[in-house]
Structure 1
Amino acid sequence: MNPVADVKGKHILITGGGSGIGAASARLLSERGALVGVADLNLDNAQNVVEEIQSSGGKAYAVAVDVTSPEQVKGMFDSAFAQAAKIDVIINNAGIDHMPAPLTEVDDAMFMKNLQVNLAGVWYCMKNALTHMTATGGGHIINIASVAGLRSAPMISAYSASKHGVIGLTKSAAVEYARANIRINAVCPSFVDTPMVQGVLARMDERGRKGLIGANPMKRLGKPQEIANAIAWLCSDESSFMTGQAVVLDGGMLA
Structure 2
Amino acid sequence: MFNLNGKNVVYIGGFSGVGYQVCRLLMKKNISYLIMMGRMENMEMMRKLQAENSAVEVKFIPMDLMDRSSMQQAIKQMMGVIKQIDVLINGAGALADKDMETTMGVNLTGMMQMVMLSMPYMDKSQMGNGGIVMNIASVYGLEPAPAFPVYAAAKHGVIGFTRSMADPLHYQHTGVAFMVVCPGLTTSEMMMNLREKSMMGQQSYVGEMIEAMNQAKHQSPEECAMNMVKAMEMMKNGAVYLCNMGQLKEVMPTNYWQM
TM-score, normalised relative to structure 2: 0.81
Which residue is 1:101 aligned to?
none
1:36–1:201 distance in 2 versus 1, CA, 3 Å: farther
- Between 1:136-145 and 1:32-41, the stretch displaced more is 32-41
Partner Cα distance (1:226, 1:130) in 2: 30
Structure 2 counterpart of 1:22, which letter?
A: G
1:96 and 1:196 in contact (8 A); partners too: yes
- Partners of 2:62 and 2:30 in 1: CA distance: 23
SS in 2 for 1:172: helix
1:133 counterpart = 2:127: no
Whether the 8 Å CA contact 2:147–2:209 is kept in 1: the answer is no
What residue identity is the alignment partner of 1:243? N
Instruction: Name the structure 1 match of 2:254.
Output: none
Alignment of 1:146-165 (within 5 A): 146-165=138-157
> Deviation at 1:201?
7.7
Q: Does 1:168 align with 2:160?
A: yes
Q: CA deviation at 1:202?
A: 9.0
1:10 equivalenced with 2:4 (yes/no): no
Q: Please, what TM-score do these two structures have when normalized by structure 1?
A: 0.82
Question: Please, which runs of 5 or more residues in structure 1 have no aligned partner?
Answer: 99-105
Q: What is the CA deviation profile of residues 173-193 of structure 1, one whole-angstrom value per residue up to 9, with x for unaligned ones?
A: 110521121100111001111
Q: Within 5 Å, give how 1:1-255 maps onto structure 2.
A: 6-34=3-31, 35-43=33-41, 45=42, 47-58=43-54, 59=56, 60-98=58-96, 107=98, 110-134=99-123, 135=126, 136-175=128-167, 176-179=169-172, 180-200=174-194, 211-215=212-216, 220-236=217-233, 239-240=234-235, 242-251=236-245
One-letter amino acid of the structure 2 residue matched with residue 182 of structure 1: V
The CA distance in 2 between the partners of 1:22 and 1:79, in whole Å, is 22
Aligned partner of residue 154 in structure 2, secondary structure: helix
CA–CA separation in structure 2 for the residues paired with 1:5 and 1:229: 15
- Number of residue equivalences: 233
205-214 or 243-252: bigger deviation = 205-214
Paired residues of 1:174 and 1:183 also in contact (CA < 8 A): yes
- Distance (whole Å) between structure 2 residues aligned to residue 10 and residue 196 of structure 1: 30
Structure showing the higher helix proportion among its residues: 1
Q: Is the 8 A contact 1:111 1:158 kept in 2?
A: yes
Cα RMSD, aligned residues only: 2.7
Per-residue CA deviation, residues 97-144 of structure 1 (Å, 9 max, x unaligned), is 02xxxxxxx64xx12221111111111111012222112121110000
Gap runs ≥5 in structure 2:
252-259
Identity of aligned residues (%): 24
- Structure 1 stretch displaced more, 139-148 or 201-210: 201-210
CA distance in 1, matches of 2:101, 2:38: 20
Distance 1:116 1:53 in 2: 28
Residue 102 of structure 1 corresponds to which residue in structure 2?
A: none
Letter in 2 for 1:126: V
Tell me how far apart the structure 1 counterparts of residues 144 and 208 of structure 2 sit (CA, whole Å). 21
Q: Secondary structure at the match of 2:135?
A: strand
- Determine if contact 1:5/1:233 at 8 Å carries over to the other structure: no
Q: In 2, Cα distance between the equivalents of 1:49 and 1:90?
A: 20
Task: Name the aligned partner's letter for residue 28 of structure 2.
Answer: E
SS in 2 for 1:82: coil
